[in-house]
Amino acid sequence: MVSAVPVEIREVTRKAEVRRISVHSHIKGLGLDENGEPLPVADGLVGQIEARKAAGIIVQMIKEGRMAGRGILFVGPPGTGKTALAVAIARELGVDTPFVAMSGSELYSAEIKKTEVLMRAVRRAIGVRVREVRRVYEGVVKEIKFMMARHPFNPYVKIPRGARITLTTRDDEKTLEVSEEIAAQLAELGIRKGDLIWIDAETGLVRKIGRVKGVEKARYYDIDIWHYYEKMPSGRIFKEKEIVRTLTLHDLDQYYVAQKAAVTAFLGFEIAEKEIDPEIRKAVDETVKKWLETKKAELVPGVLFIDDAHMLDVEAFSFLTRVMESEFSPIIILATNRGLTKIKGTDIESPHGIPLDILDRLLIIPTKPYTPDEIREIIKIRADEEDIRLSEEALDLLVKIGAEHSLRYAVQLMEPARIIAQRRGRNEIKADDIKEVSKIFVDTRVSVELAKKWEELFLK
């Protein structure tokens, strides 16, 4: 575990800022108005009006609990926003909605069975929002003192064997003697004067919430990683507190597996299971059902997005059909850029390489190629997200490349062009930079043409 210890920063010499920008980090939702009608440009999405409107209807169906036994299929040429729409649906469903993305080809690169890969993905896409009322000690640290002892294996190292901590609010104050286990957590979290914390009275779990200004002799920083509260909290120190956590079914599976491993290790046995025992998952499901019945938890159906769905075989499609009919099921979204093609592993041709019986269970949403004006808006959004400056001429050229080749290729050229411009002493990308990188980085069509031209030189 990494200690969340604030670090004092004396001086920062800024050389270069490294940011990891994901392909769909700019997407915040479907960009719909209050009537469910798509805005031309909103929430990071551009165009695809019909597809976004259909996705908005699906979001409403999900919220009303009317998607049972159904799935979604996005069909369209490459680079038409199929993945973006799946991400947008998850964003619309809520901040803690699980979103699991995978490719159909991933099933064949794992060391475990295809159905196990799918099952783990399914259970990672189902959240359980657990609400617990716990008895806790909560307040601002006024004093803290550790009782130290020598480490049992290293006499030169001291470890906490206990601690005395004084918590205060505007209405109450308590001094607590805590055990070695709690003291170790306090030390690991770097708890000090001015910290707002709570300690679970039953489990001893310690959580740091932030820092409160105005505590005597507490040290504060101009830059800190913790939220600062201006006022001292009120209320009793010892109280009941509702704690909300969102776990996934896979998290609970792993917890049960760890428990089983601990018991077998204690008995002297070793287990080397690559797959999770169905009995463990059954026990998890029974526990979750009890939580739901007693209102201790609520289910948070997430999104399982499988791109390149034509790479799935009959066994995988059969598994997904069972999942759609099961009691605990995520929202399954498939995507493909194939038309009429063979179902993987068979000689049967079917629309999109998907068996007809599962196609009947899917709400199919087509995506269309973007217009030049839509390509322009998307490139501007991506340039802003990646902090890239484009001249008007460079933007026009990228729009032309996106329309003639592909949007994805045009977007991919921006970062290499930025480096070319930087080497030339500029922060702004010009058309000449785009032309240069388009010569050294070719698109798929040119790559195929070169392969045909040099066919005799390629290895077969």
In contact, 320 and 332? CB cutoff 8 Å: yes
pLDDT at residue 251, rounded to an integer: 84
Q: What is the pLDDT of residues 342-366, one digit of tens each?
A: 888 888 888 888 888 888 888 888 9
CA 308 to chain centre: 20
> Which is nearest to 331 in space by CA: 293, 300, 287?
300
pLDDT at residue 393, rounded to an integer: 92
Please state which CATH class domain 41-125+302-366 belongs to: alpha beta
> Which is nearest to 138 in space by CA: 29, 80, 212, 73?
212
Q: Start-end ranges of CATH 2.40.50.360 in the chain?
A: 131-245
Kindly state the tokens that stand for 333. 């979204």
Kindly state the tokens that stand for 128. 């359980």
How far, in Å, CA of 73 to CA of 355, rounded? 13
DSSP reduced 3-state for 227: coil
Segments in the chain below pLDDT 70:
1-26, 110, 223-224, 260-273, 455-460
In contact, 62 and 123? CB cutoff 8 Å: no
372-453 to CATH, choices 3.90.1580.10, 3.40.50.920, 1.10.620.20, 1.10.8.60: 1.10.8.60
Taking each helix axis from N to C end, the angle separating 249-266 and 278-293, rounded to the nearest 10 degrees, works out to 120
> Which is nearest to 314 in space by CA: 364, 355, 350?
355
pLDDT at residue 14, rounded to an integer: 37
How far, in Å, CA of 276 to CA of 31, rounded? 40
Alpha helices in 267-313 (DSSP H): 278-293
In contact, 212 and 228? CB cutoff 8 Å: yes
* Location of structure tokens 């066994």: 315
Q: What is the CATH T-level fold of the domain 131-245, as seen in this structure?
A: OB fold (Dihydrolipoamide Acetyltransferase, E2P) (2.40.50)
Q: Which residues make Cβ contacts (< 8 Å) with residue 37, sequence separation at least 6?
A: 53
Burial 368-377 (b: 16+ CB within 10 A, else e): ebbeeebbbb
What size, in residues, is the chain? 460
CA 231 to chain centre: 34
> Which is nearest to 71 in space by CA: 398, 400, 303, 379?
303
How far, in Å, CA of 407 to CA of 448, rounded? 18
In contact, 107 and 114? CB cutoff 8 Å: yes
* DSSP character at residue 37: P
Q: Which residues make Cβ contacts (< 8 Å) with residue 50, sequence separation at least 6?
A: 366, 368
> Which is nearest to 330 in space by CA: 122, 64, 130?
122
In contact, 30 and 55? CB cutoff 8 Å: yes
pLDDT at residue 82, rounded to an integer: 85
User: Within the chain, what is the greatest distance between any pair of CA atoms?
Assistant: 85
In contact, 53 and 36? CB cutoff 8 Å: yes
DSSP reduced 3-state for 188: helix
pLDDT at residue 19, rounded to an integer: 43
pLDDT at residue 20, rounded to an integer: 44
The pTM of this model reads 0.67
pLDDT at residue 459, rounded to an integer: 59
Q: Start-end ranges of CATH 1.10.8.60 in the chain?
A: 372-453
Q: What is the pLDDT of residues 295-306, one digit of tens each?
A: 888 888 888 898
